[in-house]
Structure 1
Amino acid sequence: MFAVYAAEPKPDDPLAALRVGERPDPVPPEGWVPVRVRAASLNMHDIWTLRGVGIKPDRFPMILGCDGAGVLADGTEVVLHSVIGDPAWTGPETLDPKRTLLTELYQGTFADTVVVPRRNVLPKPEALSFAEAACTGTAWLTAYNMLFDKSGLRPGQTLLVQGASGGVATALIQLGRAAGFRVWATGRSEQKRALAEELGAHRTFEPGARLPERVDAVFETVGRATWSHSVKCLRPGGTIVISGATTGDATAAELQRLFFLQLRVIGATMGTREQLADLLSFLEVTGVRPQIGQELPMERAEAGFRAMLAGETAGKIVFTR
């Protein structure tokens, strides 16, 4: 079958590991189902896989792609939940120490067909296109978890989104506006700030800018480049919710500010199947749709990877079949 895959780990030149070609058809284990992929979205996690981060060398070649939407053998249209937990685990799968993602142990969604546990498929709302549904499993699910389960915010309060054009950031802006929060965002260029405002941000700022007032919560996916600014932007008792560090770990934890101002720092990783079901319902009820910055046939996947590596994103990058 056709697939986009990582041939081997290339820490210093990830695109050198990228291949577009044929791979063996998957054979579903007992309790797993094949899904004919119609659309799949790109995540930074796929870049890390090409670098060999979070995956053992003996797992290569590895078909890339955590997220997707497609069709079961009986014609049912479905959305994929990419967090695969231990069947014996009874709590939230994001807390399962044995959890994994597609592309870490199991082949991913950038292919004609992917196989997943039966519980990892959810009905696709008719109102969502396959491309829109394919954006929900990682970036949008993470944003939903950060905003509605981790932050403790109430409608009417003010939040700051750092780095306004990535998949999680654009999702936070759209979800936050729809839920009644006052949404501020930072962006590295006028174009990125304009995009944030188009998506619903009430105000936008250059990175590191002094804000008109301190905010109730900051949403972090950037890390080192924005961490100090995030801490300084919070009101006493405020919250930072962090789900990534694309520029690396912070060089200083700002511990004095954390304890003196009684700030909270909360981590978020993906979300549960139940949260994904709630997110799909939220999108259906509100009419909010994921911002797709680029939609490409899967055969042109390399162009999407290059755009992500260069930071040329304006929402999600989606590959279609």
Structure 2
Amino acid sequence: MFAAYAARFDREQPLNALELGERPEPLAPPNWAVIQVRAASLNHHDIWSLRGVGLAEEQLPMILGCDAAGIDADGNEVVVYPVIGATGHGVGPRERRSLLTEKYQGSFAEQLSVPQWNIVPKPRELSFEEAACLPTAWLTAYRMLFTNAGVRPGDSVLVQGAGGGVATAAVVLGAAAGLRMFVTSRDEAKRKRAVDLGAEAAFESGARLPHRMDAVLETVGAATWSHSVTSLRPGGTLVISGATSGPNPPAAELTRIFFLELKVVGSTMGSKEELTGLLNFCAARNVRPVIDSVLPLSRAREGFARMAGGDLFGKIVFTP
């Protein structure tokens, strides 16, 4: 079957490690199932895999891709929850949880094998391309907002770095839930698009805001950390789920954090139950993922290059 996979590691030029070509069709051990992939979306995790982060060399070649929507053996339209081993279903009870492509072959292929427990129904209101955007970036945003930020309708939330999958998801989901969403970006076009998606206002990175925020969603890291901390009201919450600009900010802002009793909450992905909630929320509220582009899997290198260069707004989706 045709697939996009990591054949080697290249920390400096990760796209040099990406290969497109034939790979063996997957098998289904007991309590596993083979899914016919109809759409799969790209994440920063896939580029980090090409750099060798979270992946051992002896596991190569590794088919990339965490997110997928497709059809199971019974003809049902399904979405794949990408965390394997979270409960022991389909794997050993002591197996540490991992994301697809960290141990098991991923979704950038015509077929994908996962534990049956990891399969959830796809709402008929969502296309395969839309549903494939949800399990990683959109689920991350859903958990950040509705589980970890502690916000209610009417509260103000700042999203750092408009344009990426998690950031655009947070804006759309937050606006649909009655939150006042604000964003920052260095790119004027991305700021305008964020407002079109439901943000109340968009600002230059690091700009002074009209008022303090109840919560800040942080995925950028070192470049925006100080601005995130200083943008919070006393008692506010900073939720961090990534650090694409680096994990070590120049100042930790510890004095401000303890003096204003700010909360700093780490957030990683989401549960299978939260994915089901996200799918149902999108279907019921007519919320649709922001898709930058849909490309055939044969053009995966183009999609990876767009993500690596930051030249995107929303999710990139591959169709086998």
Q: TM-score, normalised by structure 2?
A: 0.97
Instruction: Note the C-alpha offset of 1:57.
Output: 1.0
Alignment of 1:1-321 (within 5 A): 1-88=1-88, 98-249=96-247, 250-321=249-320
Partner SS, residue 5 of structure 1: strand
Instruction: Note the C-alpha offset of 1:9.
Output: 1.2
Q: Which amino acid aligns with 1:270?
A: M
Instruction: Report Cα offsets for 1:89-114 as digits up to 9, x if no partner.
Output: 8xxx9xx9811010000000000100
Counterpart Cα distance in 2 of 1:193 and 1:86: 37
- Percent of aligned positions that are identical: 59
Instruction: Report Cα offsets for 1:217-249 as digits up to 9, x if no partner.
Output: 000000011000000100010000010000011
Instruction: Note the C-alpha offset of 1:146.
Output: 0.4
Counterpart Cα distance in 1 of 2:8 and 2:216: 37
The number of aligned residues is 316
Counterpart Cα distance in 2 of 1:217 and 1:97: 35
Instruction: Note the C-alpha offset of 1:251.
Output: 2.8
Counterpart Cα distance in 2 of 1:5 and 1:165: 26
| Gap runs ≥5 in structure 2 | none
Counterpart Cα distance in 2 of 1:87 and 1:62: 23
Counterpart Cα distance in 2 of 1:282 and 1:307: 29
| Gap runs ≥5 in structure 1 | none
Instruction: Note the C-alpha offset of 1:29.
Output: 1.3
Instruction: Report Cα offsets for 1:131-183 as digits up to 9, x if no partner.
Output: 00000100000000000000100110100000010000000000000000101
Partner SS, residue 5 of structure 2: strand
Q: Which amino acid aligns with 1:165?
A: G
Partner SS, residue 274 of structure 1: helix
Partner SS, residue 283 of structure 2: helix
Instruction: Note the C-alpha offset of 1:187.
Output: 1.3
CA 1:124/1:234 → structure 2, altered by over 3 Å: closer, same or farther? same
Partner SS, residue 15 of structure 1: helix
Runs of 4+, deviation exceeding 3 Å? 86-89
Q: TM-score, normalised by structure 1?
A: 0.97
User: RMSD of the alignment, in Å?
Assistant: 1.3
Partner SS, residue 218 of structure 1: strand
Moved more, 281-290 or 23-32: 23-32
Counterpart Cα distance in 2 of 1:87 and 1:228: 37
